[in-house]
């Protein structure tokens, strides 16, 4: 507490563009998946998301226009013959009434015996049935093919949107600084990419495309019902707002339920993953029973949440259906009543003109009733479907704010405007009064100043967690400093493009990440064009050549997920080879030899020493044998540079940190040597 | 390693499929009462469906066409007659009102009023947010459905979802406990994802199969029979129509086989490309440091974009295959529909049926045809579940670490551990350990030294029985551990692994895992010895800091210290440390070495180390090479041999420092 640097200064807090503020946002972001946002998602937000989603349609506007044209044509074409055929069947076949001219025309029947007679004979009715079967089947098949074609087009559109989104998100995630990635689980990022991009796509479907389709059906239906009976059209039109009110009232509960279900489920998956990753420890500590209990509890929590959410959804759907159903029953009753009394249709002239009925017969009958019922049902169904869409939209909206948030995140480390290519390093690197913290109250580096000239190996040593790794990471601009700067040949590295900076740095890390490709590809990762010979050469320097050759397929051996089949020492050497191959003026080795046995280590370091002449080499290590190689030693403690100098100089400092570190080790060694 | 529960993507034979179904039926056992009730709901739905078309028939025949009940060509079935009796003698207006009331009641009760599927709703709680497997299986894991809607449908839904969840929970828990009991050789990182998949996604196949196996083959024929019975009562026999309906079974049965082969081929390609996409991004994300530091962003972008596009394309091909199958099915089925249509139309023309009967017959034909299609496709339908079922069964059957029935409780260890002539191979033919023997006594520190890959880690894994020797034995106080209850053995061992494993709980809870009943003072004490107390104190939340996934932002050394603290707090008589100090600074290491010496007074301490400083003071040093122990003795003894491997090792480390 008495260390002023441990407290965030107020200026940093108030500056929204500082690293601190960004870090705060990242953490905010990390929390998003964990709930608390559901209740803030309002109707307005959903509308806002729609506005956000709209630009995604632009790249596919052409296919979308085709889709809309297709739907309209298919629907329009479907209605007219549909009504005619139902009419012909209900009246002609069932009731022996004559056909209208239009009906006869559509069914490819001669008008002569079918139109204008009093009653159709049994033979004519049978003939009508045969003809109808042929025409209707043909038409339906044609319509089905068109429909499937449009479905395919829809899928294509949605996939294209999804692909664009995924790639955008992938790029965005790649450009975010490591500070972001250290806040996130890998699985979370991946889940987000796949799930959220799918969800945005789904939103587009639910919010833009499907409603269009339902709206079209609704309008067509409404128009036709209006011809039959405008009062019923009015009822149908007012069914909408009634259902909308119910939806609006229930939508918050729906969202909350969905969100809880999603969270508990992903929590459960994470928990299982963790247990399996740590199974060794669980077994070693006989913690199986405890983990079992924890699992069962989490499992039920997830199930309970899912049940609550789904129950709400079902109740919502059933309620909407009840309302819509009552409307439809009432409309049927009204239609039957009119038919019973033989009332005229509202626009009977129009009906006749469209060929739905023979002349002078624009009156309610079985055929018109059937058509009325069918169109009214179409209308109510589209209301129901739209409301189901609303319900689904609630489900989708939960993940959406997150999805867009990824796209909105500004990379913390970004090239400054007019950033230049970094010229090849000549003189060296200077750390100037560098401070950095991951979290406001946890400073990692405090005012470090250090000169690292070219042609010189600098060893960075210090206790675990003192900030050594962070110090070298900053040279790569994996993070930007909160205060101070790093200069290369006298210029702040933030003046250069990140790409040109990183192209001059090679790094071998403490934790060795390998890719699921061959050994050769792994070594070649930084220099895709490297020849096989260069790869072998780099492997030799890294002391990896011998064991690679001994592998069954040599350099072509495939490495499993995260290179699991190799020992950590072998992985370490491959990542050293990768760094060596990059052949850059700056080489960073972060505990490069921690997992190597003494013989191998010595060999690798020897090689590196020879190879590294004329380069800036930064070496993080614990081992004295490694430190010995260095031209200067920087001792870091609790984020501060406490000692700097050559091995011999530092040994002279009485009570020096370095000296005491060396003595601890050397005592033991000299003693061992003496005994030998 | 082939692994003990790996299954490749090969096709199952029909026999295997059948066997897995029989097995699935056994899984229902504990839940049979719940399933019986579900059957009850199902039959209520059937009866409602039988009743449903009659109000409409009355509307058409009696209200609109004004045919008196008495003159109707066909009769009413028994269960509709009470309703008809009410209406007899009523005016058309009254009948209309009565029918509307009946329809409204049906709507409230079972959520249906008309005759077709369109005028009916089902209480189905499936969510809908993407095409990904996670959502799909989440829907399956919480599958609640009902054939009906309304109040009854809602009750049915609630009952079903609870049943599904109980079943899933039951088998997930079983599977989880089984996974925990698998021998450690079953796990490498690749298998973890697979196991999660089995646990979370494949288990849902059990409930799904149970529903499908029970309901379609049993319930669908009953439904058909009920309809045939009602029809023969109402219309006499209508055999041609029934045959036409049943003909759907034939159409569905013959078409689904070729179609499903086609679709399955495309689906499997689609899955493969999907998996490629996932793993390519997973790699990129996990290795973000490497990607960013080596400038691999563009390459990762291209790779991801290509893989993702390919997976979408495969999905579209699959979709096209499905469309082709739909068209073929519709084409074949339309003949049967045409037959039905003509049959009924002719009946009406001939006066055998009234226009209202059309509603009834169409509805019934729909049910017969639909149920027939269900039966015809059941085998194919179940196939998709079979793979999941088998993957679950495989895991349930995998050989687990179990105690022998006569396993004894191991008393607190007094003397020590003895390994006698143990051979061990992960894979047959490439032995990892060859005839190793050693003794580690209470009161001594035993150190393993040797080059990487010599088998040191495998050797110490024998002691907690992580590996069972192929030959030879491991004895604790003279008792062969093969005959000891595993819990009582592992309770007495504290293990620090080479790769640290921490859990996403607080620091305190992570340490406490060593001994759940440890007091706070004991935890702090252990942390101090492990050199962790200092950095923990610097954290804003101290011991209550939550670590995040796999230790999150702690450095490797900090994580290592926590795992050492966890072992120390256990106070077990055997303490095994696998390279505990590789990432520690000399100061911490020094402290730890002293602590180990201290601890070894009443314990067996076994340590694997590279550093001389850790090894030097050991009472016994075992030098391993290529699976053998080639030198044994204390530092002074071993160093005396001028050509010894250990001496060589020491010389390399000390060269030039002194």
Over residues B572-588, mean pLDDT: 77
The 8-class DSSP code of residue B199 comes to: I
Mean pLDDT calculated for residue range B2-24: 63
Taking the C-alpha atoms of residue B58 and residue B11, their distance in angstroms, rounded to an integer, is: 54
Residue % of chain A over a pLDDT of 70: 81
User: What pLDDT is stored for residue B11 in this prediction?
Assistant: 59
Q: How confident is the model at residue A10 (pLDDT cuts 50, 70, 90)?
A: very low
CB spacing of B142 vs A505 below 8 angstroms: no
The residue-averaged pLDDT of B75-100 equals 88
Q: Give the C-alpha distances (Å, rounded to integers) separating A388 from A228, A324, A639.
A: 28, 12, 57
pLDDT confidence of residue A148 = 92
Residue appearing with tokens 């249906």:
B112
Cα B273-B275-B280 angle, rounded to 5 deg: 95
Confidence (pLDDT) at B126 = 55
Q: Supply B597's token pair.
A: 């010496």
Partners of B169 on chain A (C-beta within 8 Å) are 296, 299-300, 303
Pairing of strands A632-637, A456-461: parallel
For residues A450 and A641, give the distance between their C-alpha atoms in angstroms, rounded to a whole number: 8
Per residue in A382-422, pLDDT tens? 888 888 777 777 777 766 666 676 667 666 667 777 888 88
What are the residues whose beta carbons fall under 8 Å from the beta carbon of B49, sequence distance 6 or more? B112, B223, B363, B367
Among B419, B613, B412, B455, residue whose Cα is nearest residue A663: B613
| pLDDT recorded at residue A557 | 83
Closest chain A C-alpha to B541 CA, distance in angstroms: 11
Contact A190 B278 (CB under 8 A): yes
Residue A149 in this model has a pLDDT that exceeds 90: yes
Residue B438 has what pLDDT? Answer: 93
Q: What are the DSSP calls for B242-290, one per residue? A: HHHHHHHHHHHHHHHHHHHHHHHHHHHHHHHHHHHHHHHHHHHHHTHHH
Mean pLDDT on A554-558 = 84
Report the distance separating Cα A644 and Cα A468, nearest Å.
14
CA distance B309 to chain A (A): 7
Instruction: Give how far A9 is from chain B: nearest CA, Å.
Output: 17
- Kindly report which listed range (A152-156, B170-174, B547-551) carries the lowest average pLDDT score: B547-551
Q: What per-residue confidence (pLDDT) applies to A66?
A: 92
Burial of A138 per CB tally in 10 Å (0-12, 13-18, 19+)? exposed
Is the CB of A284 less than 8 angstroms away from the CB of B494? yes
Structure tokens at B293: 């530091």
Q: Residue B464: helix, strand or coil by DSSP? A: coil
> What's the mean pLDDT in A134-161?
89
Q: What is the band of B96 on the pLDDT scale with cuts at 50, 70, 90?
A: very high
A666 or A222: which leads in pLDDT: A222
Average pLDDT over residues B57-80: 86
- Is B129 within 8 Å of A526 when comparing Cβ atoms? no
Residue A79 in this model has a pLDDT that exceeds 60: yes
- pLDDT score, position A345: 83
**Contact (CB<8Å) A465/B555:** yes
Closest partner residue to B161 (CB to CB) among A178, A310, A660 is A310
Model confidence pLDDT, tens digit, residues B189-238:
556 667 777 777 778 888 888 888 888 888 888 988 998 888 888 887 77
- Averaged over A214-231, what is the pLDDT? 89
Neighbours of A598 (CB within 10 A): 23
Higher pLDDT, B167 or B612: B167
Q: Residue B657: pLDDT band by 50, 70, 90 thresholds?
A: very low
Q: Does B67 touch chain A (CB under 8 A)?
A: no
Q: What is the mean pLDDT of residues A541-557?
A: 85
Contact list in B for residue A504 (CB cut-off 8 A) is none
* Whole-number pLDDT of residue A188: 62
- In tens, the pLDDT along A491-513 reads 888 888 877 888 888 877 766 66
Residue A619 φ then ψ, to 5° = -130, 120
What residue in B sits closest to A180 (Cα-Cα)?
B288
ipTM strictly over 0.90? no
Q: What is the pLDDT of residues B98-123, one digit of tens each?
A: 999 998 998 888 888 765 444 455 55
Q: Distance between CA A202 and CA A162 in Å, rounded?
A: 9
- Residue B418 pLDDT: 92
Q: Is the pLDDT of residue B419 over 90?
A: yes
Residues from chain A that touch B188, judged by Cβ atoms under 8 A, are 560, 564
> Is the pLDDT confidence value at A550 over 80?
yes
**Chain A contact set for B153 (CB, 8 A):** 318
**Confidence at residue B622, expressed as pLDDT on a 0 to 100 scale:** 92
Highest mean pLDDT among A124-133, B226-235, B518-527: B518-527
pLDDT tens, residue by residue, B591-637: 777 877 877 788 899 998 877 777 888 889 999 988 899 999 988 88
Query: What pLDDT score does A28 carry?
Result: 40
Q: Give the pair of three-digit tokens for residue B407.
A: 């396993």
Q: What is the pLDDT of residue A7?
A: 29
Please write the tens of the pLDDT for every residue from B335-350: 888 888 888 888 888 8
Please tell me which of the candidates B64, B141, B181 has its beta carbon nearest to residue A340.
Answer: B64
Would strands B444-449 and B471-476 be described as parallel, antiparallel, or unpaired?
A: unpaired
pLDDT of residue A42: 55
| A&B contacts, CB < 8 Å | 473
Q: How far apart are CA B395 and CA B195, in angstroms?
A: 9
The overall pTM is greater than 0.90: no
Per-window interface: B 190-229 vs A, CB < 8 A: 190, 192-193, 195-196, 199-200
Task: Yes or no: say if A477 and A637 are a contact pair by the CB < 8 Å rule.
Answer: no
* DSSP code at position A94: I
Least confident window among A197-201, B90-94, B192-196: B192-196
Inform me whether the C-beta atom of residue B456 falls under 8 Å from chain A C-beta atoms.
no
- Distance from C-alpha of A451 to C-alpha of B271, rounded to nearest angstrom: 54
Is B349 near chain A, with CB under 8 Å? Answer: yes
Contact A332 B59 (CB under 8 A): yes
| Residue with token string 């209550």 | B544
* For residue A34, pLDDT beyond 60: no
Average pLDDT over residues A2-11: 30
pLDDT digits (tens, 9 = 90+) for A433-488: 988 887 666 678 888 898 888 888 888 887 766 788 788 878 888 778 888 889 98
Where does the pLDDT of residue B422 fall: very low under 50, low under 70, confident under 90, or very high at 90 and above? Answer: very high
Q: Strand pairing partners for B575?
A: B494, B605
Average pLDDT, chain A: 78
* pLDDT tens for each residue of A423-440: 888 888 899 998 888 766
Interface of B with A in 276-335 (CB under 8 A): 278-279, 281-297, 299-301, 304-305, 308-309, 312, 315-316, 319-320, 323, 326-327, 330-331, 334
Q: Do A395 and B127 touch (CB under 8 A)?
A: yes
Closest Cα in chain B, distance from residue A505 (Å): 8
Asked whether the beta carbons of A301 and A336 are under 8 A apart, the reply is no
**What Rg, from alpha-carbon coordinates, does chain A have?**
37
Q: Under an 8 A CB cutoff, do B125 and A269 touch?
A: no
**Given the structure tokens 């096989």, which residue do they identify?**
A532
- How far is Cα B507 from Cα B535, in angstroms, rounded to an integer? 11
DSSP designation for B111? S
Residue B625 has phi, psi (to 5 degrees) of -150, 130
Task: Count other C-beta atoms under 10 Å from residue B210's C-beta.
Answer: 21
With bands split at pLDDT 50, 70 and 90, how would you rate the model's confidence at A145? very high
Lowest mean pLDDT among A396-400, B86-90, B238-242: A396-400
Among A42-46, A47-51, A112-116, B615-619, which stretch is predicted with the lowest mean pLDDT? Answer: A42-46
Give B237 or A534, the one with higher predicted confidence: A534
What pLDDT score was predicted for residue B436? 92
A192 or B343: which leads in pLDDT? B343
Q: Write down the H helix ranges in A205-343.
A: 210-228, 230-277, 279-284, 288-340
Lowest mean pLDDT among A100-109, A226-235, B285-294: B285-294
Task: Give residue A295's Cα distance to chain centre.
Answer: 27
- Section A264-280 average pLDDT: 78
Beta strands B471-476; B479-480: pairing state: antiparallel
The predicted pLDDT at position A590 comes to: 78
Picking from A324-338, B63-77, B465-479, B584-598, which range would have the lowest pLDDT averaged per residue? B584-598
Residue count of chain B: 658
| pLDDT tens, residue by residue, A601-630 | 778 878 887 887 778 888 887 777 677 778
Among B141, B182, B292, pick the best mutation site for testing chain A contact (most A Cβ within 10 A). B292
């Amino acid at each position: 507490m008495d260390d002023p640097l441990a407290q965030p200064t107020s200026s940093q807090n108030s500056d929204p563009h500082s690293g601190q503020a960004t870090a705060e946002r990242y953490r905010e972001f990390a929390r998003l998946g964990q709930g608390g946002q559901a209740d803030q998602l309002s109707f307005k937000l959903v509308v806002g998301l729609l506005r956000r989603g709209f630009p995604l349609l632009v790249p596919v506007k052409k296919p979308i226009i085709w889709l809309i044209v297709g739907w309209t044509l298919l629907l329009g074409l479907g209605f007219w013959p549909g009504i005619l055929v139902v009419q012909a069947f209900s009246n002609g076949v069932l009731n022996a009434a004559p056909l209208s001219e239009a009906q006869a025309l559509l069914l490819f029947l001669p008008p002569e015996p079918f139109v204008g007679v009093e009653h159709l004979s049994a033979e004519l009715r049978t003939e009508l049935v045969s003809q109808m079967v042929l025409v209707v089947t043909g038409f339906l098949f044609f319509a089905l093919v068109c429909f499937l074609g449009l479905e395919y087009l829809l899928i294509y559109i949605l996939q294209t949107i999804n692909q664009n989104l995924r790639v955008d998100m992938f790029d965005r995630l790649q450009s975010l600084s490591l500070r972001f990635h250290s806040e996130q689980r890998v699985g979370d990022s991946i889940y987000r990419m796949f799930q959220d991009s799918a969800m945005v796509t789904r939103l587009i479907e639910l919010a833009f495309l499907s409603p269009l389709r339902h709206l079209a059906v609704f309008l067509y239906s409404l128009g036709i019902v209006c011809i039959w009976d405008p009062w019923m059209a009015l009822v149908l039109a007012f069914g909408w707002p009634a259902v909308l009110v119910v939806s609006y009232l229930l939508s918050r509960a729906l969202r909350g339920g969905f969100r809880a279900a999603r969270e508990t489920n992903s929590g459960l998956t994470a928990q299982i993953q963790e247990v399996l990753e740590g199974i060794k420890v669980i077994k070693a500590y006989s913690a199986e029973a405890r983990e079992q209990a924890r699992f069962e509890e989490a499992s039920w929590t997830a199930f309970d949440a899912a049940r609550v959410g789904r129950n709400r959804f079902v109740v919502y759907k059933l309620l909407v259906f009840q309302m819509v159903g009552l409307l439809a029953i009432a409309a049927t009753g009204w239609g039957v009543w009119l038919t019973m009394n033989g009332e005229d249709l509202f626009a009977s002239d129009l009906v006749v003109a469209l060929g739905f009925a023979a002349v002078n017969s624009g009156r309610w009958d079985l055929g018109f009733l059937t058509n009325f019922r069918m169109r009214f049902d179409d209308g109510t169904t589209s209301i129901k479907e739209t409301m189901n869409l609303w319900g689904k939209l609630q489900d989708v909206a939960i993940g959406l704010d997150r999805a867009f948030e990824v796209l909105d995140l500004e990379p913390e480390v970004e090239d400054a405007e007019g950033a230049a290519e970094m010229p090849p390093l000549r003189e060296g690197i200077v750390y100037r009064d560098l401070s950095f913290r991951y979290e406001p109250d946890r400073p990692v580096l405090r005012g470090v100043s250090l000169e690292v000239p070219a042609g010189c190996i600098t060893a960075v040593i210090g206790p675990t967690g003192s900030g050594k790794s962070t110090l070298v990471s900053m040279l790569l601009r994996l993070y930007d400093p909160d205060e101070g700067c790093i200069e290369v040949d006298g210029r702040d590295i933030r003046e250069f493009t990140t790409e040109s900076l990183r192209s001059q740095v090679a790094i071998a890390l403490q934790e060795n990440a390998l890719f699921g490709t061959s050994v050769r590809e792994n070594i070649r990762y930084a220099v895709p064009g490297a020849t096989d010979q260069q790869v072998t050469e780099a492997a030799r320097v890294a002391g990896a050549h011998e064991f690679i050759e001994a592998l069954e397929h040599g350099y072509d051996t495939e490495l499993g997920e995260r290179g699991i089949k190799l020992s950590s020492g072998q992985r370490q050497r491959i990542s050293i080879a990768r760094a060596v191959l990059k052949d850059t003026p700056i080489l960073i080795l972060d505990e490069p030899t921690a997992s190597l046995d003494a013989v191998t280590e010595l060999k690798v370091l020897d090689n590196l020493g020879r190879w590294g002449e004329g380069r800036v080499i930064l070496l993080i290590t614990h081992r004295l044998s490694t430190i010995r190689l260095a031209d200067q030693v920087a001792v870091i403690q609790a984020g501060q540079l406490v000692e700097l100098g050559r091995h011999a100089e530092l040994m002279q400092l009485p009570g020096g940190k370095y000296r005491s570190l060396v003595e601890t080790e050397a005592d033991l060694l000299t003693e061992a040597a003496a005994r030998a | 390693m082939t692994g003990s529960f790996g299954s490749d993507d090969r096709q199952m034979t029909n026999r295997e499929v059948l066997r897995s179904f029989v097995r699935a039926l056994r899984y229902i056992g504990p839940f049979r009462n719940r399933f019986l009730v579900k059957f009850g709901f199902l039959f209520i739905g059937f009866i409602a469906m039988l009743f449903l078309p009659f109000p409409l028939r009355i509307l058409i025949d009696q209200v609109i066409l004004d045919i008196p009940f008495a003159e109707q060509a066909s009769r009413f079935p028994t269960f509709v007659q009470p309703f008809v009796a009410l209406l007899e003698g009523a005016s058309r207006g009254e009948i209309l009102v009565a029918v509307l009331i009946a329809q409204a009641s049906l709507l409230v009760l079972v959520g249906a009023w008309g005759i077709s599927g369109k005028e009916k709703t089902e209480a189905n709680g499936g969510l809908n947010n993407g095409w990904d497997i996670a959502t799909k299986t989440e829907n399956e894991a919480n599958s609640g459905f009902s054939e009906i809607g309304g109040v009854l449908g809602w009750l049915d839904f609630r009952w079903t979802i609870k049943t599904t969840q109980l079943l899933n929970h039951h088998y997930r828990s079983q599977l989880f406990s089984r996974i925990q009991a698998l021998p450690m050789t079953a796990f490498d990182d690749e298998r973890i994802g697979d196991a999660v998949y089995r646990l979370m996604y494949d288990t849902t196949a059990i409930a799904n199969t149970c529903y499908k196996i029970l309901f379609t083959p049993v319930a669908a024929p009953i439904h058909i029979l009920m309809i045939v019975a009602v029809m023969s009562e109402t219309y006499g026999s209508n055999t041609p129509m029934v045959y036409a309906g049943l003909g759907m079974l034939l159409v569905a049965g013959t078409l689904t086989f070729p179609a499903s082969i086609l679709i399955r081929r495309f689906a499997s390609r689609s899955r493969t490309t999907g998996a490629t996409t996932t793993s390519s991004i997973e790699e990129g994300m996990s290795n973000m440091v490497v990607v960013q530091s080596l400038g691999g962003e563009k390459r990762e972008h291209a790779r991801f974009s290509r893989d993702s596009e390919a997976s979408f394309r495969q999905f579209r091909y699959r979709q096209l295959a499905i469309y082709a199958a739909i068209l073929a099915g519709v084409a074949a089925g339309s003949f049967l529909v045409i037959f039905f249509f003509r049959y009924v139309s002719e009946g009406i023309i001939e006066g055998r049926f009234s226009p209202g009967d059309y509603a009834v017959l169409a509805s019934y034909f729909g049910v017969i045809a639909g149920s027939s299609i269900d039966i015809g496709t059941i085998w194919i339908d179940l196939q998709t579940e079979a793979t999941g079922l088998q993957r679950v069964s495989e895991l349930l059957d995998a050989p687990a670490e179990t105690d022998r029935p006569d396993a004894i409780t191991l008393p607190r260890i007094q003397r020590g551990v003895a390994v006698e002539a143990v051979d061990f191979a992960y894979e047959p033919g490439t032995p990892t350990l060859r005839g190793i023997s050693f003794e580690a006594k209470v009161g001594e520190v035993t150190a393993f030294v040797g080059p990487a890959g010599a088998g040191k880690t495998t050797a110490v894994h024998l002691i907690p029985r992580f590996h069972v020797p192929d030959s030879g034995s491991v004895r604790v106080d003279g008792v062969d551990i093969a005959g000891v209850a595993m819990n009582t053995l592992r309770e007495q061992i504290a293990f620090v692994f080479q790769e640290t494993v921490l859990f996403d709980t607080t620091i305190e809870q992570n340490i406490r895992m060593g001994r759940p009943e440890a007091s706070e003072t004991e935890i702090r004490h252990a942390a101090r010895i492990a050199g962790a107390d200092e950095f923990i104190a610097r954290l804003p939340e101290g011991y209550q800091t939550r670590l995040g996934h796999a230790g999150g932002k702690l450095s490797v050394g900090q994580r290592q210290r926590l795992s050492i603290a966890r072992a120390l707090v256990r106070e077990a008589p055997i303490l095994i440390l696998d390279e505990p100090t590789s990432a520690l600074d000399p100061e911490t290491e020094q402290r730890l070495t002293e602590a180990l010496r201290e601890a070894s007074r009443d314990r067996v301490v076994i340590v694997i180390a590279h550093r001389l400083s850790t090894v030097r003071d050991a009472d016994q040093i075992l030098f391993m090479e290529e699976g053998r122990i080639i030198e044994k003795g204390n530092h002074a003894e071993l160093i005396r041999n001028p050509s010894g491997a250990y001496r060589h090792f020491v010389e390399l480390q000390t060269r030039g420092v002194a």
